[in-house]
Amino acid sequence: MNYKVVWTEEAEISLSEVIDYLDKKWYQKQVLRFLEKLDKTISIVRETPLIYPEFGPLKVRRALINKQTSLFFKIEKDDIIILSVRDNKRSPRF
């Protein structure tokens, strides 16, 4: 089943922060590589979200984008709700 992906405002802000950080610290090539990995991760999540285990009381799931960054999401009916894109060194707020 292909789920519809919905980004929360917090997820959009956190993605912007990650991209801004990469843009300041790395070359444009690394930013583009990150965005490609993000797109690939979202495609996998959309097709097979149940492969990612739930954790916490809110039943949040985590997909690894790369070793530094993760995508946090929930499944609600036919939607994948993207909650946040976070540096793996930071604790999620879920």
For residue range 27-37, what is the model confidence (pLDDT) as tens digits? 788 889 999 99
Q: What is the pTM of this model?
A: 0.88
Flag whether pLDDT at 58 surpasses 70.
yes
Class of domain 4-87: alpha beta
- Of 28, 16, 46, give the one whose Cα is nearest residue 61: 46
SS3 label, residue 62: strand
**Who contacts 8 (Cβ-Cβ below 8 Å, separation ≥6)?**
81, 82, 83, 84
Flag whether pLDDT at 60 surpasses 60.
yes
The mean pLDDT of 46-61, rounded to a whole number, is 93
- Domain borders along the chain are 4-87
